[in-house]
Amino acid sequence: MVHKIENQYKEILNQYMQRQSEQNLYVGQNFSRQLISENISPEEVISVHKAAMQEIYKDLPEVVWHSFDFLVEMMINYGLALQERQSLLQRQEEIRVEMDLAANVQETLLKTKLPTLDGLDIGLLSIPARKMNGDYIYFISDAEGHAGIAVADVIGKGLPAALCMSMVKFGMDSLNHSPANPSEVLGVINRVVEKSIDDSMFVSMFYGRYDAVSAQMTYGSAGHEPAILYRAKTNDFSELYAKGLLLGVSPAATYEEHTVQLEENDMVIMMTDGVTEGRTDQGFIEREVIFKMIEEKKDEPAQVIVQYVYDALERMQNAVLSDDFTLVIYKKV
Amino acid sequence: MSNQSSVEILTEWDIVAARQLGRNVAKELGFGTVDQARITTAISELARNIYLYAGQGRIEIQQLMENGIKGILIIAADQGPGIPDIRKVMEDGFSTSGGLGAGLPGVKRLMDEFKIETIPGEGTDIRATKWLR
């Protein structure tokens, strides 16, 4: 094979030496691509070049041949760098496959069942910025018409955030089937997070519990992006703020809870900061911009609104998500 | 057939002497220019490691003959501190990222066979072989 390459190279070189045309160079470049695909190292190319020159121009002075030997020596480390690059690319591919698997495991692990309640229309979307999601949505529902929802966000993203989120999930699992108050839920998860997660990791979480019978939403927040209340009657937006420390900061933290009465077509919009901290070249995307999007689609089903907001924000940011994106809408119908 | 000779590595100039020895033997065995350059680069790398990390040691060059195939064996031995995390130094990108040169993965690539034994506090023994094809 080496012999074949030597002959081809000599032929192409000879053509170039006679005419020095652009076409000869083009042929040479194509040939170099073939050399790379056959893992021919730069030092070998020089050696092939020298051999070809020796055949075509036997009578060149000795110094020319010496110079090629010197060039071979110079190229050895370039050849090694090339091989190293190839092996690192392979390693990168292995890591990519591993991350895909991990993302699948996470998806299964964090699966949650969307509650179906009369008079409540739910829309939700959670899109990770990288492979693994550091945002989390969890529903707790029961036969008495309660639909609890946790929206959590680990400070940070990617693999560490995803691992951290499994702890929140196990904490929530221990609460399942009990329609607990937001302040209790946040208190329990706070202690789980505080005990089991690295000191540098913090989690913010919103917990809301909707009661289908009274159409009331009771909510609490652990340092989370405030939920937004949309009043259909007056067509305005307001924040649902509740005081509370981030999860994992102090085991003694306590969490406020408040209740709002929902009327027909009112919406509670819950999100992570990936929604509100989207950036364009002009700076942060104003909340009012998002409110306007929701208002435009207010008569659509909740899932349509959520998808519309996501699509619009993604377009504004040229399809680059800088943070995990999670948006949930509870719409009283 | 086994024919050996060695160079003590004490100063940076001994690295050159080790390269020279390796090149002479490689040439004598019939290795081409490219393989000669690879063999001497491997020797350079191993001798530099001795000079930089162990302070002193020895590069030994042996001619081999197995099943009618000729080969060259480089032995780099020192009584230095040894390598505490061998997996790390054998990893791609560990030494090259700091601009330290080809590193041990590079030596492994340049040669056909590579063996390393290292005991923390006692020293390191590296054997690298290249066969004439």
The verdict on a CB contact (< 8 Å) between A87 and B33 is no
Give, for A53, the enclosing helix (H) or strand (E).
Answer: helix A42-56
Q: What is the pTM of this model?
A: 0.71
Question: What count of residues does chain B have?
Answer: 133
The verdict on a CB contact (< 8 Å) between B33 and A72 is yes
Report the pLDDT value the prediction gives residue A195, as an integer from 0 to 100.
85
Closest Cα in chain B to A74: B37
The verdict on a CB contact (< 8 Å) between B41 and A81 is no
Question: pLDDT grade, residue B69 (50/70/90)?
Answer: very high
Query: What's the CA angle centered on A121, arms A120 and A126, to 5 degrees?
Result: 125
Cross-chain CB nearest to B33 (options A47, A77, A84): A47
- Per CB-CB distance under 8 Å, the chain B contacts of A69 are 33, 37
Q: What Rg, from alpha-carbon coordinates, does chain A have?
A: 31
Average pLDDT, chain B: 90
- Per CB-CB distance under 8 Å, the chain A contacts of B40 are 73
Residue % of chain A over a pLDDT of 70? 97
Closest Cα in chain A to B101: A77
The verdict on a CB contact (< 8 Å) between B92 and A43 is no
Report the pLDDT value the prediction gives residue B1, as an integer from 0 to 100.
47
Report the pLDDT value the prediction gives residue A300, as an integer from 0 to 100.
95
- Per CB-CB distance under 8 Å, the chain B contacts of A91 are 92
Closest Cα in chain A to B110: A80
Cross-chain CB nearest to B96 (options A47, A50, A84): A84
B41 touches chain A (CB under 8 A): yes
CATH of segment(s) A110-332: 3.60.40.10
- Class assignment of domain B3-131? alpha beta
The verdict on a CB contact (< 8 Å) between B92 and A84 is yes
Comparison of pLDDT for A165 and A60, the residue scoring more: A60
**pLDDT single digits (tens) A9-24:** 999 999 999 999 999 9
Enter the tokens of residue B79: 């009584």
The verdict on a CB contact (< 8 Å) between A43 and B109 is no
Q: What string of DSSP letters covers A20-36?
A: --HHHHHHHHHHHHHHH
CATH of segment(s) A2-95: 1.10.1240.30
Q: What contacts B75, CB < 8 A, 6 or more positions away?
A: B6, B58, B59, B60, B61, B62, B125, B126, B127
Please tell me the distance in Å from A91's CA to the nearest CA on chain B: 10
Closest Cα in chain A to B105: A84
Please tell me the distance in Å from B92's CA to the nearest CA on chain A: 6
Domain ranges for chain B, please list them: 3-131
Residue A294 has pLDDT above 50, yes or no: yes
The verdict on a CB contact (< 8 Å) between A76 and B93 is no
Q: Which amino acid is at A253?
A: A
Query: What's the CA angle centered on B126, arms B120 and B128, to 5 degrees?
Result: 160
Please tell me the distance in Å from A159's CA to the nearest CA on chain B: 22
B22 touches chain A (CB under 8 A): no
- ipTM more than 0.90? no
Residue B114 has pLDDT above 50, yes or no: yes
**pLDDT single digits (tens) A61-92:** 999 999 999 999 999 999 999 998 999 999 99
For residues A230-245, average pLDDT: 94
Please tell me the distance in Å from B105's CA to the nearest CA on chain A: 8
What distance lies between CA A84 and its chain's CA centroid?
28
Average pLDDT, chain A: 90
Q: Look at residues B10, B96, B97 and name the one whose alpha carbon lies nearest to residue B47.
A: B10
Domain ranges for chain A, please list them: 2-95, 110-332
3-state secondary structure of A322: coil
Residue B8 has pLDDT above 70, yes or no: yes
Residue A135 has pLDDT above 70, yes or no: yes
Please tell me the distance in Å from A169's CA to the nearest CA on chain B: 35
For residues A325-332, average pLDDT: 93
Cα separation, B35 vs B33, in Å, equals 6
Output the CA–CA distances (angstroms, integers) from residue A280 to A7, A274, A277, A315, A322, in the order listed: 56, 13, 10, 10, 11
Closest Cα in chain B to A70: B37
Q: Which amino acid is at A84?
A: E
